Amino acid sequence: MIRAIKGTKDILPEEVGAWQRVESAARALFARYGCREIRTPIFEETQLFARGIGAETDIVSKEMYTFADRDESSLTLRPEATAGIVRAVIEHNLMNEDPALRVYALGPMFRRERPQKGRYRQFHQVDVEIFGVAAPSVDVEVIQIALGFLEAAGLPDYELVLNSVGDAACRPAYVETLRAALRANLATLGPDSQRRAETNPLRVLDSKAPEEQALIESLPKISEHLCDACREHFAEVRRQLDLFAIPYRVDHRLVRGLDYYTRTTFEVTSGALGAQNSVLGGGRYDGLVKDLGGPDLTGIGFALGLERLVMILGAPKAERRCDVFLALLAPAGRDKALLLQRELRAAGLAVLTDHEGRGLKSQMKRADKLQSRFVALLGDDELAKNVWTVRDMAGSSQETIEDARIAAYLKEKANG
Ligand code: HAM
């Protein structure tokens, strides 16, 4: 038997309602913040991600689905949405039309990570990006969009974690300080962190290895190495979060797994998730548009993992799939039933019938399973008298309705 690929997941009909609910909550909320949807391709030139996300990141160095196209160009299934959106913004000069562009995207992303609870190789992100505004109030606005979405989706508890990773003016010196401190303690580090001490020292701060924790806590902190502009920016972000009474925790180790960040970074975690506890993550990326060949345009955004959100929200109760079930018990009444079915559907009702001549019990069971509000029965008796028997499934009351009135009666009842 052919099975779904490891790390991918079918979203089955009984689960899809939960997805559609959070997706429409996202669309409704993002529109209130002036964001419009953008849809970019699922595959891009590999270069885009290598340059955008950073060649030394885990994502680019070991998690991308990269393949040679038939013309030998190197293509990659997008591991995240930001780089593709930035490419589209540059390619179509979207900032000319709107210098404070706000967009969102929904869709599948691909990373070849080790699958575990909440971690997939194809997963879905909801992504928001705002370009062209350097003011710290936009950082807080983006955080409000993220948290507003979690509230709208009904996520019970979560924690906002915040940091500033500095910018081109102050981070290089901090990275050197960090590298020096790591070099002096190489023996305490495992092989991964030893390598990162050279290639990408910030990522060592992310390490979960128990034997490295004491050293990491003693390392120089970025907060002590921010330039004045970054320090003021971060202080203003924090002041405004307080203004809106948004609780948060500063974690100086929150460096995130993508290299494009500058200044504010944030994540929202949930205790309900286990090891993969990040529901969403984001931050500023003021140099990315320029790095990818565009104008010097600031950017900030976040992405949320839909599998994780839906998992925490849990299975919603089964939905009503039918307003009226036509229980056909007299084969001679088939045409009548099919015509009524068409008429009621045209009036906007969800209507199903039995096509296989099943018995009363089996048809009632099916109507129950579909949570049908009404069952309209057509048996030999009804057929002879030109009537239908209509059962209200909630009240279990029963009425006899003449053929001439049945459509109008059901439309009124089901819409009422
Ligand atoms: P990220 O932290 O790599 O950031 O991913 C954002 C979210 O996607 C995570 O918090 C998680 O919920 C979900 N996610 C990531 N990998 C997986 C996986 N393998 N399985 C299931 N869910 C996953 C970004 O992607 C940035 N582009 C966010 C951003 C947008 N920054 C600025 N703008």
Q: Under a CB-based contact definition with an 8 Å cutoff, are residues 311 and 116 in contact?
A: no
Atom of ligand 1 nearest to the CA of 279: 12
- What are the per-10-residue average pLDDT scores of the chain (416 residues)? 97 93 97 98 98 94 97 98 98 94 98 95 98 98 98 93 97 95 92 92 91 94 97 98 98 93 97 87 97 97 97 86 96 96 97 96 96 97 97 90 97 88
What's the CATH class of domain 324-415? alpha beta
Do the domains 324-415 and 13-156+248-313 match in fold?
no
How far the first Cα of the chain sits from its last, in Å, is: 48
User: Residue 276: what pLDDT?
Assistant: 78
d(CA 286, CA 138): 13
Q: How many CA atoms lie within 13 A of 348 on its CB side?
A: 7
Instruction: Give the distance (Å) from ligand 1 centre to CA of residue 264.
Output: 16
Q: Is 129 in the pocket of ligand 1 (CB under 6 A)?
A: yes
User: Residue 222: what pLDDT?
Assistant: 95
Instruction: Give the distance (Å) from ligand 1 centre to CA of residue 265.
Output: 13
Instruction: Give the distance (Å) from ligand 1 centre to CA of residue 304.
Output: 6
Instruction: Give the distance (Å) from ligand 1 centre to CA of residue 127.
Output: 9
User: Residue 273: what pLDDT?
Assistant: 85
d(CA 298, CA 82): 13
For ligand 1, atom 16, the nearest C-alpha belongs to 119
Q: Under a CB-based contact definition with an 8 Å cutoff, are residues 366 and 355 in contact?
A: no
Domain residue ranges in the chain: 13-156+248-313, 324-415
H or E stretch covering 240 = helix 228-243
Question: What are the CA-CA distances from residue 380 to residues 54, 325, 327, 373, 374 (Å)?
Answer: 73, 18, 12, 23, 20
For ligand 1, atom 25, the nearest C-alpha belongs to 80
User: Residue 173: what pLDDT?
Assistant: 96
Amino acid at residue number 184:
A
Q: Is 52 in the pocket of ligand 1 (CB under 6 A)?
A: no
For ligand 1, atom 11, the nearest C-alpha belongs to 305
Architecture of domain 13-156+248-313: 2-Layer Sandwich (3.30)
297 contacts: CB under 8 Å, gap ≥ 6: 89, 95, 131, 132, 289, 290
Three-state SS at 392: strand
Instruction: Give the distance (Å) from ligand 1 centre to CA of residue 410.
Output: 48
User: Residue 1: what pLDDT?
Assistant: 95
Atom of ligand 1 nearest to the CA of 111: 19
Q: Is 84 in the pocket of ligand 1 (CB under 6 A)?
A: no
- State phi, psi for 140 to the nearest 5 degrees: -70, -35
Torsion angle in degrees (nearest 10) through CA of 42, 48, 49, 53: -130
For ligand 1, atom 21, the nearest C-alpha belongs to 119
User: Residue 318: what pLDDT?
Assistant: 81
Best of 48, 142, 258 for a ligand 1 pocket test (most atoms within 8 Å of beta carbon): 258
Three-state SS at 115: coil
Q: How many CA atoms lie within 13 A of 36 on its CB side?
A: 5
**Which residue from 235, 256, 254 is spatially nearest to 161, judged by alpha carbons?**
254
191 contacts: CB under 8 Å, gap ≥ 6: none
33 contacts: CB under 8 Å, gap ≥ 6: 102, 128, 141, 145
Question: What's the angle, vertex CA 375, arms to CA 371 and CA 414, rounded to 5?
Answer: 75
